[in-house]
Structure 1
Amino acid sequence: SLDETFRRARDQLRSFEGIAPADPPREFKGSLRGYQREGLGWLLFLESFGFGGCLADDMGLGKTVQVLALLESRRELRAQQPQDRPGPSLVVVPRSLVFNWMQEAARFTPQLRVLDHTGADRVRPGEHFDDYDLILTTYGTLRRDALHFKDVVFDYCILDESQAIKNAGTESSKATRLLRAHHRLALSGTPVENHLGELWSLFEFLNPGMLGTASVFRLGGAGARNPEPETRALLAKALRPFILRRTKEKVARDLPEKLEQTLFCELEAAQRKQYDELREHYRATLLDRVSREGINKAKIQILEALLRLRQAACHPGLIDKSRTNDASAKLDLLLPQIAEVVQEGHKVLVFSQFTSLLAIVRERLDQEGITYEYLDGKTRKRADKVERFQSDPDCKLFLISLKAGGLGLNLTAAEYVFLLDPWWNPAVEAQAIDRAHRIGQTRNVFAYRLIARDTVEEKVLELQKTKRDLADSIINADNSLIRNLGKEDLELLLS
């Protein structure tokens, strides 16, 4: 009963000694940094009291890894006590992050059985869920399957990028509140954006009823958007145990100077169709010609094919100018990440080799009202632009065409670097990251490479591991490519 639960919590709190850092479970692969062990300790504290909480660390500090350590500890518990077996856990993520969760789980918690519950061929919620430890789904799938999901009792229910439910009235918010779970968590770099209504929506998911009803919480008007200092102080104090936020600055001593990560994105149906049609066209025309005449004769066509496929992996509008407003997997991943980092107060560099891709990014940023600087090979007054980015607190974003920005720019105000398309020449890539990470940079730098799955980009990553020279020459589109390229390499790139 509720009274019983309350009494138990009160007794536990009386003997509460504080939150201690926790070691990751035995089967967890890898180690946790000091602040991540503290994060795991906090997650276990919430679990023991039956509270929900929001892990709100800055982007790049490893929220996913801390949660995976927690879920691995639940899996080990299940293995030891099958009779008390809690059900599987559910993680709801934006579509662009599904594959990255799958990858991180495979890397850090290979024992966790993970189900990707997205796409048209997914099973009905509830069927076979018990065969898994972790179910991954998207906010869109959750909305569509809401009525089936509510019949399942999960161990943990975790919302990643939980700002997706900041508006209490949306279908996504309602669908998350229907979920049933023993424990609830939210992950967000920007959870409490100064609007009390958003806070209510988050806590109504985490600890239902804790902040009273929406109407009592005064959701309307200026008071919600800009609460009085006393209200804010009171709330901050009341909610302190349930929100854990560490900024990069706070945990800098635990971090390496440079952190690099590859983010994979999945092409949506329309972009995938365009890419596959292009690939099939080049397979049909090129492989046949190479068989007949040899690689040397097809040199120009091969270079063109690789360039067009790389463009199609980035955005449909680079192939067909009438499609610049279409969805693109990379922008769907990039834009929310940029918005989050900028909101956290950090500065960001975005590099691409394609000025046409940066033009589309600029259009989106203009629509969102985000201030940025831009630099490509044609830019005049480069020093002024660099100076503004380095010193103007309102200019948090710098878009740079790689060919222009690889050398000689000193952009140490930046803490985050996004490489929109891979450069197979690692030296050039390192140069771009080092724009931010140089002598004079006192902060840690996070660098992210965006790679489109099942495209030529991923194939070249494979080649990079085995045939460094070949990979370098593909990106430089120089004549050495034809010297280094064999027919089987071409088949791999077009597969």
Structure 2
Amino acid sequence: EFTVSGELMHPIRLNAKEASVFLSSADDLMKAGMVCRVPNWWKKKYSSVSLSVSMGSKKQSLFGVETLVSLKPSLMVNGKPLTKAEIKKLLEADEGLMLIKDGWVEVNHEKLKELLAAMDEVSDEMTLADLLRKEAGLQEEKVKSSKAEIGNGAWLAGLFAKMKSPKQAAASAIPKSVHAKLRPYQKSGVNWLNMLGSYGFGALLADDMGLGKTLQVLTYLEGLRRKNPEAKILLVVPASLLGNWQAEARKFVPEMPLSILHGMSAEKLEKKIQEESSFLNITTYGIASRMESLKNQTWDLLILDEAQAIKNPKTKQTRMIKLIPAHQKIALTGTPVENDLSNLWSIFDFLNSGLLGNQSQFSQYAKKLQEKPEGYGKLRNMIAPFILRRLKTDQSIVPDLPSKIEQTDYIELSAKQKAMYRKRVEELEAALEEEDVDDKGIKKKGLVLAALTALKQICNHPDQYSGAEVFKPQDSGKYEFLKEILEPIAEKRECVLVFSQYASMTEELDDYLAEIFGRKGLVINGSTPVKTRTEYATRFNEQKTYIPYMVLSLKAAGTGLNLVAANHVIHFDRWWNPAVENQATDRAFRIGQKKNVMVHKFVCKGTIEEKIDQLIFEKQLLADSLINTSEDGAEKMLSNMSNDELIQLMRLDV
């Protein structure tokens, strides 16, 4: 039994060889009960020799992530490199300890020979993509020795620091031909685009909706045009945003030659692309997917707006867009990842092909992340240099942007809705009990999807589900609640946006809102021509005559439109994808808005709407901003449930 004698410690005098033997045995001595105090440099292995490989120590020319970067291997002790003479001394000295560089170094001939052999295995260079994949754990170590530590050299470390913090990027003068006063964060964004462009890196500008991604890109393009007027830029946008980009370009960069590749026969388009292309050429995803001539030339810059359009790597549209060659690529989106990590891979496969490996490699990597979520941090760090994302909730970015107040409104079903809802759940329960319904088969998925659609429509209004055209307000809890919200808005002559995922519902809501406000508003859904959408947005914002509301289908008008005349937003039914709903809300909550924006999200109490809303809220808390749940994800989640779980989730709890 160990007792304290009151004495502190007994120092002992040892030569270097004896000290080495003692230090090596200290752990065993302490396990036996002896109290030993060993130097800090031994405990923290400062005396151990290690192999360090420095990537990109000196400045060099970079162009793209496949650029080769030089490797410089060296043996290190306590952060200091050993010279050839010092290594020779260690090899010639007896094993034990040796005083070098004002510190003791452990002499271990076998370990030294292993490290020297590993140095010989280090290649002279590695691609930048290899380096980043290695740091994220996406590929095996190129240096065979597990004892080698690879780190960024001073120049490369400084470059990555600038890419991750746009404020550090070298300032570039805003061309006088840009007719706008950029905010400080927008200037930083232009500087960042200039820096990544100079290195040939693909850039993902993922600023929150409403922070002016369009203006930043047009300013960057105007700088390019001033340097190289003969350059050819291809901008691909959703059809609904053609008018918006054209108007913004004329407003902010009126001197920029612009060509719209849309609205004509395929033959005329081919001729225009080949013979009449301008500096900036704007087309749609549909045309870019079909026109071979766009793939027959290498563009100086290819830009995708609302780049979530290529989030699914398996679609024909995504594959065709990725075949268009370009020296540099930029993607714009306010929601870089909507569903799962395959979305992220697909966008980066476009921007910096190979950076995240091939699809199979990344899929395996994503599965490992599910088992070890701490790996998300490494992935974030890996892609951070190529993403610029600012949020408008950051008051240091846009201090004058008004606040947004969001609330979920829980609404009681009418008696008619409750009866229809219960009957539809009973029909599903009976159908699932049939012998030929496989637990995870196609038939079950079809039954689940049909029931899900039916229940959502019943929650909106029984007549939407039944096909009747009466739509009495008292038959729908949502209709009744909508009137309560809208009447005060009508009294104050304010404006509101009402979103529904169903195009047919937008027409019915238009009739109902016209009764409440005593005048007609505007409707945008899938059948509204692109040109008309732009005209409606202008009329709504100008308010020369009071236009109280705009009813919009989420798919047709959830992105791109600037509708700041409205300071109220109502999601009449839910898309069950927070990213998509937030994009729709941002039609009103963006720069130019003078008032606080009030957002209502309708949820019918006790129904599938409330239960899935809660499930998605919990999942979003877990996944944070990296992964959101999509509409398809909700359907898939339901299809994978057991029959009992499914019925329990869909059953009306009131």
Q: TM-score, normalised to structure 1's length? A: 0.53
Shift in Å, 1:254: 2.4
Shift in Å, 1:13: 3.3
User: Is 1:6 matched with 2:85?
Assistant: no
Q: Is the 8 A contact 1:117 1:123 kept in 2?
A: no
Question: How far does the alpha carbon of each residue in 1:193-237 deviate from its partner, in whole angstroms, 9 at most, with x for none?
Answer: 3512111111111001111111111169x8399674223222111
Distance 1:257 1:405 in 2: 31
Q: Which residue of 2 aligns with 1:141?
A: 287
Q: Which residue of 2 aligns with 1:132?
A: 278
Q: Which residue of 1 aligns with 2:426?
A: none
Q: Which residue of 1 aligns with 2:392?
A: 248
Q: Which residue of 1 aligns with 2:106?
A: none
Q: Is the 8 A contact 1:406 1:431 kept in 2?
A: no
Shift in Å, 1:433: 2.7
Shift in Å, 1:58: 1.5
Q: Which residue of 2 aligns with 1:150?
A: 295
**Measured at CA, do residues 258 and 371 of structure 1 come closer, stay the same or move farther in structure 2, by a change above 3 Å?**
farther
Q: Is the 8 A contact 2:312 2:346 kept in 1?
A: yes
Q: Which residue of 2 aligns with 1:38?
A: 188
Shift in Å, 1:39: 1.1
Shift in Å, 1:249: 0.3
User: Is 1:71 matched with 2:216?
Assistant: no
Distance 1:258 1:41 in 2: 27
1:283-302 matched pairs, under 5 angstroms: none
Q: Which residue of 2 aligns with 1:433?
A: 566
Q: Which residue of 2 aligns with 1:335?
A: none
Shift in Å, 1:26: 2.1
**Which runs of 5 or more residues in structure 1 are unaligned?**
80-84, 260-340, 350-364, 387-395, 408-417, 437-443, 450-495
Question: How far does the alpha carbon of each residue in 1:263-318 deviate from its partner, in whole angstroms, 9 at most, with x for none?
Answer: xxxxxxxxxxxxxxxxxxxxxxxxxxxxxxxxxxxxxxxxxxxxxxxxxxxxxxxx
Shift in Å, 1:185: 0.6
Question: How far does the alpha carbon of each residue in 1:175-206 deviate from its partner, in whole angstroms, 9 at most, with x for none?
Answer: 12211111101011111235121111111110
Distance 2:499 2:286 in 1: 32
Q: Which residue of 1 aligns with 2:270?
A: 123
Distance 1:348 1:66 in 2: 34
Q: How many residues align?
A: 317
1:89-488 matched pairs, under 5 angstroms: 89-119=233-263, 120=265, 121-124=268-271, 126-128=273-275, 132-145=278-291, 147-193=292-338, 195-218=340-363, 223=367, 228-251=372-395, 254=398, 256-257=400-401, 379-381=479-481, 402-403=513-514, 422=540, 424-426=544-546, 428=548, 433-435=566-568, 445-446=589-590
Bigger relative contact order, structure 1 or 2, given CA contacts below 8 A and separation 6+?
1
- Out of 155, 172, 178, the residue aligned to residue 28 of structure 1 is 178
Shift in Å, 1:19: 2.1
Q: Is the 8 A contact 1:160 1:188 kept in 2?
A: yes
Shift in Å, 1:368: 12
Moved more, 229-238 or 198-207: 229-238
Shift in Å, 1:109: 0.7
Shift in Å, 1:445: 3.4
Question: How far does the alpha carbon of each residue in 1:417-460 deviate from its partner, in whole angstroms, 9 at most, with x for none?
Answer: x9798465248579973457xxxxxxx934999xxxxxxxxxxx
Q: Which residue of 2 aligns with 1:54?
A: 204
Distance 2:327 2:258 in 1: 19
Question: Identity rate of aligned residues, in percent?
Answer: 33
**Which runs of 5 or more residues in structure 2 are unaligned?**
1-62, 71-127, 129-152, 163-167, 410-451, 462-470, 487-496, 501-508, 519-535, 550-562, 570-587, 594-654
Distance 1:368 1:46 in 2: 49
Distance 2:209 2:354 in 1: 29
Larger radius of gyration: 2
Distance 1:243 1:90 in 2: 21
**Measured at CA, do residues 100 and 372 of structure 1 come closer, stay the same or move farther in structure 2, by a change above 3 Å?**
farther
CA RMSD in angstroms, aligned pairs only: 4.7
Shift in Å, 1:256: 4.3
Question: Residue type matched to 1:153 in 2?
Answer: T
**Measured at CA, do residues 71 and 169 of structure 1 come closer, stay the same or move farther in structure 2, by a change above 3 Å?**
same
Question: Residue type matched to 2:480 in 1?
Answer: R
Question: How far does the alpha carbon of each residue in 1:89-112 deviate from its partner, in whole angstroms, 9 at most, with x for none?
Answer: 111111111111111111111111
